[in-house]
Chains A and B, each alone.
Chain A
Amino acid sequence: MTAQLSSGTAACPGCIATPAEPARPVPEDVQIALSLPGIHCSACISNVERELNAHPGVEDARVNLTLKRAMVKAAPDIRAVDLIPVLEHAGYEAHELDPGALSATQSDKAGRDLLMRLAVAGFASMNVMLLSVSVWSGATDATRDMFHWISAAIALPAIAFSAQPFFANAWSALRVRRLNMDVPIVLAILLALVTSLWETALSGKHAYFDAALTLTFFLLAGRYLDYRTRAAARSAAEELTALEVPRAIRMVNGVEEEVSVSNLVVGDLILVRPGGRMPVDGEIVSGKSELDRSLLTGETLPVFAEAGLAVSAGEVNLTGPLTIRTTAVGEDTSLHRMADLVAIAESGRSRYTSLADKAAKLYAPGVHILSALSFLGWYIYSGDIRTALNIAAAVLIITCPCALGLAVPAVTTAASGRLFRKGMLIKHTTALERLAEVDTVVFDKTGTLTSGAPELTNLGDHSRTNLEVASALAEASSHPLSVSLAKSARDAGIKPARVEAVVEVPGYGTEGTYHGKRVRLGRAGWTGGAEGDQTAAWLAIADQAPVSFLFSDALRPGAAEAVRAFRDAGKDVILISGDTRGAVQSLAKKLGIDTWISEALPHDKAARVQDLSEQGRHVLMVGDGLNDTAALAAAHVSISPASALDAARVASDIVLLGNDLSPIADACDTAVKATKRIRENFRIATVYNIIAVPLAVAGLATPLIAALAMSTSSITVSLNALRLR
């Protein structure tokens, strides 16, 4: 149960953050995969498919509702960025998935393999059960022996095929001299087969072929459920395409060439275009622009950038092209140093032992001792090795953890399914159990509680002329503030004025001529405005006094509800951000968060989370930026939105697919309920053992009793898990 749970996902967030692009031949048709967190009904399916199929160049689009994604076959020039606006226009949130990573999981070999084994075990157990029922209802002598032999002929090959995963796991545990759940399982199956064959050869009354097969069947069912839940989450979480640039433009003697980031060396000159992300740490050599550092530091205000400024990998260049001289590459970049912080912090999490492991630790040795004792006892008492072996086998079969093997996966499947329908992906197997223990919630600000996009707050304060001029200037730029201003103006029904000769001055703003007068929209210093502590763009019309357009970071939908729900549930809510004091304070006030920390550096965040853990708190960290990754890894359990940086998503246990934050609070509720169900299931399994084990030890257990007890407990446990849905 535990041996196969290793995952290679959290190996090194830095490496995943800048993957080397695999060389793939260009296919005739491209496959585009889109994640659609918002779809939920048949109307959604047909709407999405209709919209996509109507888009020129799309050949075929098919929605998968179970995985909430769409696979699109399209002409080679179609890209996901062309299709996402189409769907967003129709009212569906969409994110691109990496089809390269997708093709690896699509032919889901391991899942199919398990399903086949499950089918064979099911088929064989039904047939053998049919024969066993005839034996139990009175077949005797030659008929009974023949039925037993036919059962053996079905059971032996079926078990040799279907029980292989258990054999493999048990062997790998035994080889390193350890016990896991699979060791008693394998022992029970093998002992049941050996004693049954022996009994059959001596025309004995009891054979346990049916028990060995049903056991395999139920346990495989549990294994398969477990696998399904994890596979669905893993594929979707890891395929969200990386935001990082795997390639960069290097300037060699004034000629641009595209190279892989891993080939850059210190001293290289790199060109970063507006909208591009810094691939390495460096220093600006030429160009003027503004930098968005929000993912690294949590600052919402863009920073003015000119020659001489040091930049770090991960920052976004906003307005003008920049040439930077590389000062650090690969492992030395700030991005990788952040990854080291994650590695240190993560060791804390591995200390958590899951409920299943705790149960297995008690269970496996107990069963072996019990079975060995009953063998010894009966051998001393009766002196007959055949009777003693029969009873030892019965004890092993009766105690075999059918219900125990289903107890956890049945519940996690039900709970993950429920959360997935709300747009959350559980990446880590024990995440639900850890989430249930949470008593303190730490939020990051930029990109988590806020959407990271500025929103104009004082549209009403301006004259119509000013708005018309401003929106004309804003339309000409792709700076986030301009985009937001232009959008608000459009939404308010304002038509842009006729402004001529509009030029964007990188790093400063846009400038044009309006009725023969020079007009400017941009930074305070450039337009003659006064620098304030709020995000602002200034409009200057020739001789008039400049006016300011104020922006605030828009709240993410559901943020207020999530915070309120946590507070109502009696959990401590803390806001830790790298942003300035004023911005953090106003947001904390707005959401009713009493404890907040501003201007926190990445290691401050992690240290703070670790402090809380040392005080015995169980911290849930919700964050999205690179500056949060260490804290995400240090926390007891962590959640990041799908828009988060790769490194942050890798470090977190749960990924929020949609834009809405409100499901987080529900997730905690579901987790508490799920843990309760798991404990109930363990109790059911124990009660059943308390009743059945004495019967087996006393030598009163018949194959019929074993079959009844096994099926009843497994079904009870599964039904109990279904109550969660």
Chain B
Amino acid sequence: MEVLAYLIPISLFLGGVGLVAFVYTVRSNQYEDPEGDARRILSDEWDDKPKP
């Protein structure tokens, strides 16, 4: 059962990474327009180069 000593911290760390990533997406306004973003991906504008 010594493996638990590694596995538990690892699982907590990975969960923490997920939480931090989520906090980042909230802070950078990535949930402002879910419906629009879902549609924008289908548009072929700016396909050749990124929007300046």
Contact = CB atoms under 8 A, between A and B. Distances in A.
Contact of A123 (B4, B19, B33, B36): B19
B47 interface: no
Contacts of B40: 42, 45
A123 B15 contact: yes
Contacts of A115: 26, 31
Interface in B18-48: 18-19, 22-23, 26, 31-36, 39-40, 42-43, 45
Most chain B CB within 10 A, of A41, A45, A154, is at A45
A150 interface: yes
A45 B39 CA distance: 9
Contacts of B4: 143
B32 to A, nearest CB: 6
Interface string A111-136: 01001100110010011001100000
Leading 9 A-B pairs by shortest Cβ distance: A65-B36, A42-B39, A64-B33, A66-B35, A123-B19, A65-B35, A66-B33, A119-B22, A42-B43
B23 A119 contact: yes
B43 to A, nearest CB: 5
B45 A46 contact: yes
Interface in A606-622: none
Nearest to A228: B31
B39 to A, nearest CB: 4
Given A42-B43, A46-B45, A120-B19, A66 B36 contact: yes
B11 A130 contact: yes
Contact of A66 (B18, B19, B34): B34
A150 B15 contact: no
A672 interface: no
A127 B12 contact: yes
Interface in A142-193: 143, 150, 154
A45 B26 contact: no
23 contacts: A41-B39, A42-B40, A45-B40, A45-B43, A46-B45, A64-B32, A64-B33, A65-B33, A65-B35, A65-B39, A66-B32, A66-B35, A112-B26, A115-B26, A115-B31, A116-B26, A120-B19, A123-B18, A123-B19, A130-B11, A131-B8, A143-B1, A150-B8
A574 interface: no
A64 B34 CA distance: 9
Interface residues on B, range: 20 to 34
A131 B12 CA distance: 11
Nearest to B45: A46
Contacts of B16: 123
A160 B52 CA distance: 44
A228 to B, nearest CB: 10
Contacts of B15: 123, 126-127
A115 B29 CA distance: 12
Contacts of B36: 45, 63-66
Interface in A31-65: 41-42, 45-46, 63-65
A127 B11 contact: yes
A65 B32 CA distance: 10
B30 to A, nearest CB: 11
Contact of A46 (B22, B33, B43): B43
Contact of A119 (B8, B19, B32, B43): B19
A150 B34 CA distance: 36
A310 interface: no
A65 B34 CA distance: 8
A130 B36 CA distance: 35
Contacts of A123: 15-16, 18-19, 22
Contacts, number: 50
Contacts of A102: none
Nearest to B16: A123
A130 B34 CA distance: 30
Nearest to A150: B8
A131 B15 CA distance: 13
A453 interface: no
A151 to B, nearest CB: 11
A67 interface: yes
B37 to A, nearest CB: 8
A625 B28 CA distance: 42
A65 B38 CA distance: 10
Contacts of B1: 143
A45 B18 CA distance: 32
B18 to A, nearest CB: 7
A304 to B, nearest CB: 50
A134 to B, nearest CB: 9
A41 B36 CA distance: 8
Given A46-B43, A64-B36, A67-B33, 16 more contacts: A42-B39, A42-B40, A42-B43, A45-B36, A45-B40, A46-B45, A65-B36, A66-B35, A66-B36, A112-B26, A116-B26, A119-B19, A123-B15, A123-B22, A130-B11, A154-B12
Contacts of A131: 8
A203 to B, nearest CB: 17
A31 to B, nearest CB: 15
A116 B23 CA distance: 7
A126 B16 CA distance: 11
A154 B33 CA distance: 33
Nearest to B18: A123
Nearest to B44: A46
A66 B36 CA distance: 6
A150 B15 CA distance: 14
Contacts of A66: 32-36
A302 to B, nearest CB: 43
Contacts of B18: 123
Nearest to A130: B11
A644 to B, nearest CB: 27
Contacts of B35: 65-66
Contacts of B31: 115
Contact of A42 (B12, B32, B42): B42
Contacts of A154: 12
A230 B50 CA distance: 35
Most chain B CB within 10 A, of A63, A66, A67, A115, is at A66
A127 B42 CA distance: 36
Contacts of A65: 33, 35-36, 39
A387 B6 CA distance: 35
Nearest to A49: B45
A123 B13 CA distance: 11
Contacts of A126: 15
A513 B16 CA distance: 83
A123 B1 CA distance: 25
Interface string A555-567: 0000000000000
A131 B43 CA distance: 45
